[in-house]
Structure 1
Amino acid sequence: MTQYAILIYEDPALYETMPPEGWGAVVDAHSTFIKQVSELGGSMAGGGALAPVTTATTIKGGAVTDGPFLESKETFGGYYVVEARDLDHAVEIGKLCPAPGGGVEVRPLVDPATSPF
């Protein structure tokens, strides 16, 4: 099995105005997603949620600035690392990942032992 990152990008404004019960529904949706990964024959290898983009510190060319470097509507808010048979399997899993304020990107992880990169 190969490892794939499922990168979650969403509009942070969705969470700024979300009532507490809405956050509970998001947490429940992610719990369901974790169960679905194994039901589809994949496995969860890790993951995490990121603090709001306003807490970011950006380093570019040695210069350090508070906040995100780029302004964008959707920001990187969290990720999962899953093990899947192939890209099609990873995409099938990724389609189930909750991202009510945006979408997800599925990308294979590089195996340093076999990668030319």
Structure 2
Amino acid sequence: MLRNRPRIDFFSTLLEQEARRFAAEITGLLNNTVTNGIHLSARIDERGRALVRYERPISDDASDGAKRSSGDLIPLTISKKPERFGLRVYHTLTFDEECKYLRNSQSSFVLATTDRACPL
């Protein structure tokens, strides 16, 4: 079992690099169209899959008790007005069976209103 460890580490590292590249491309697309200044993160989960999602920034002195959640809403606005809608983006990435190509094994997109009084 230890013999396979370097191969697993290599593919895990490669998957994380590719997931970060994918996240950067999607971040650029979103920042140049429907939002400004966001960053999608990429990390490897305990099952060896890459997770790409948005986590809203939390200040060090978050006195409001705010915490990052799994797939926070991306504020949809390109002006200085407060956002009225948000987009939740979540991708699960793996390699194909031959470990040649990045595969989007699961994705989720949710459009939601940020005003609880005005549901979609």
Instruction: Bin the TM-score by the shorter chain.
Output: 0.3 to 0.5
Looking at CA atoms only, which structure, 1 or 2, has the larger radius of gyration?
2
* TM-score, structure 1 as length reference: 0.38
RCO comparison, higher one (Cα < 8 Å, 6+): 1
Greater share of helix:
1
* TM-score, structure 2 as length reference: 0.38
